[in-house]
Structure 1
Amino acid sequence: MKIELATEKDYKYIVERDRHIPETLVRTKINANEIFIIRDAEKEIGWMRYGYFWDSIPFMNMIWIDEEHRGQGVGKEIVLYWEEIMRKKGFELIMTSTQSNEDAQHFYRKIGYRDAGCLLLETQPLEVILTKNL
């Protein structure tokens, strides 16, 4: 498995799977080095996208692992990889979130994230905000 910054050649793979971001922003995120692509034998198997909460705290927005590669530790590996990069950049706190009806909250807690609050929008399940000190 190999993790690297996404490039223009990864654009199609990402937009075909990422339904949580407007297609017009995918290139912006690629150009800002805010998407990591995960490959297995040179084939894309997933990605991780992040941004910044309050323009200052790294916030992991999305992890996607293709179905056949789930449950094999790929998600944990990309999160730990991203955490190390954020640590090297001098950040001491990182964030992510997940909906309360998703199992991802348990995954994040297992790897050291702590509940920091929640957000309730009219049309969505409760969004659980999680943080981790690096």
Structure 2
Amino acid sequence: MRIGFATESDYEYIKARDKHILENLILTKIKANEIYIVRNEQGFNVGLMRYGYFWDNTPFMNLIWIEEQYRGKGIGKQLVQLWEQDMRRKGFKFVMTSTRSDEDSQHFYRKLGYRDVGCLLLETQPLEVILIKALD
């Protein structure tokens, strides 16, 4: 597997899988190197990760997506660890993410050293768990 920053040629792949971003922001995120793409040995996209900034000063992982047949193989872990390394190199001390309380991904993040620091309760959705990790 190869992990790198998304390029404009990845636009359609991202648009088809990331339903949590406005379409007109995808290219902006690509140009800012805020979307990673995972490619298999044949060069086909098999996953992505998108981040932004919480309070404009703390990296916040907004989305991680791995194609079904590639899940459970450690790719997500590699992707998160690469992002954390990049954020550490940029001088950040913490990274954040969130997940719904009814999603198994909360356990994935905790195994990677993220800890619960709060939650958000919206009227029409399950509890959103906020997680943080110190970058040593």
Tell me if both proteins adopt one fold, taking TM over 0.5 as the criterion. Answer: yes
Structure 1 runs of 4+ with >6 Å offset? none
Distance 1:7 1:45 in 2: 15
Two-structure CA RMSD over aligned residues (Å)? 0.6
- What secondary structure, in the 3-state scheme, does the structure 2 residue paired with 1:72 have? coil
Aligned position for 2:33: 33
| Consecutive unaligned residues in structure 1, runs of 5 or more | none
Aligned position for 2:19: 19
Shift of 1:32: 1.1
Q: How many residues align?
A: 134
Aligned position for 1:44: 45
- What secondary structure, in the 3-state scheme, does the structure 2 residue paired with 1:107 have? helix
How many percent of aligned residue pairs carry the same amino acid? 65
Matches within 5 A, 1:1-134: 1-41=1-41, 42-134=43-135
Please tell me the residue identity of whatever aligns with 2:12. Answer: K
Distance 1:124 1:131 in 2: 21
TM-score (norm 2): 0.97
Distance 2:104 2:80 in 1: 16
- What secondary structure, in the 3-state scheme, does the structure 2 residue paired with 1:91 have? coil
- Cα deviation code 1:64-123 (max 9, x no counterpart): 001110011010010000000000000001100000000000000011000000000111
- Cα deviation code 1:5-62 (max 9, x no counterpart): 0000000111011111111111111111100000002110000000000000000000
| Consecutive unaligned residues in structure 2, runs of 5 or more | none
Distance 1:73 1:122 in 2: 34
Distance 2:117 2:105 in 1: 15
TM-score (norm 1): 0.98
